[in-house]
């Protein structure tokens, strides 16, 4: 029996098969990093999200949509997490979801790509450039085709109306305004 090829070639690049891929939340990490007191990095992760990506026949027509439950933020410190859920930051009661939508990625080099996505936080939508890499495609033990991506982006939280801060006696502020996000994404090709 001939070995099945899991990727296809497009303009010399190995890419996933065309189709709709559902994001696997059990095997996807969405982590955010902020500066605390100017020097320390505090890491948190969102634990509830869903979405899909569509890989086009021409991959530059591909798209992604994600919905993140804002209240699922977890920094491993309950009091801080409650503060992040409050009106000072995400106001999860009034704005329960963070959305990410984008299309038409462009190839940068090798397996590296760039896409502009619309990120919505607290009902404010801003374009954000995301760099990402295709890490590979494989079959899982149940016969599903899985594609693996890693990506990163940076936002200015104040541009989304998340402006709370506290001045420090020695200068500087309690929370940095720049947030970095890192994504390790697994997505499963729908059987249609």
Residue 4, pLDDT score: 55
Q: What's residue 30's pLDDT? A: 96
Domains of the chain: 16-189 (2.40.128.110)
Burial label for 30, CB within 10 Å (0-12, 13-18, 19+), is: buried
pLDDT at 3 over 60: no
Q: Which residue has the tokens 């990410």?
A: 100
Look up residue 144 and give its two tokens.
């599903």
The C-alpha atoms of residue 101 and residue 83 are separated, in whole angstroms, by 27
pLDDT digits (tens, 9 = 90+) for 135-156: 999 999 999 999 999 999 999 9
φ and ψ of 83, to 5 deg: -65, -40
Give tens-digit pLDDT for 91-136.
999 999 999 999 999 999 988 999 999 999 999 999 999 999 999 9
Q: For residues 175-188, give the mean pLDDT.
A: 94
pLDDT digits (tens, 9 = 90+) for 47-88: 999 999 999 999 899 999 999 999 999 999 999 999 999 999
DSSP assignment of 69-110: EGGGEE-S-HHHHHHHHSTTTT-TTT--EEEEEEE--EEEET
Specify which residues 34 forms β-bridges with.
42, 179
Whether the pLDDT of residue 90 is over 60: the answer is yes
> In the prediction, which pLDDT does 27 show?
96
């Amino acid at each position: 029996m001939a070995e099945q090829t899991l990727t296809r070639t497009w303009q010399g690049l190995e890419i996933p098969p065309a189709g709709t891929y559902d994001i696997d939340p059990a095997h996807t990490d969405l982590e955010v990093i902020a500066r605390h007191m100017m020097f320390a990095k505090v890491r948190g992760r969102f634990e509830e999200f869903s979405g899909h990506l569509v890989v086009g026949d021409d991959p530059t027509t591909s798209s992604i949509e994600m919905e993140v439950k804002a209240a699922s933020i977890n920094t491993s410190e309950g009091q801080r997490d409650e503060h992040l859920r409050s009106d000072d930051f995400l106001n999860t009661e009034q704005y329960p979801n963070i959305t990410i939508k984008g299309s038409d990625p462009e190839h940068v080099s090798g397996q590296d790509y760039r896409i502009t996505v619309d990120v919505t936080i607290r009902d404010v939508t801003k374009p954000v450039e995301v760099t990402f890499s295709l890490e590979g495609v494989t079959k899982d033990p149940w016969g599903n085709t899985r594609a693996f991506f890693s990506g990163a982006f940076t936002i200015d939280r104040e541009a989304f109306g998340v402006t709370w801060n506290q001045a420090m006696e020695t200068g500087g502020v309690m929370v940095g305004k720049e947030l970095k996000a890192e994504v390790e994404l697994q997505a499963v090709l729908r059987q249609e």
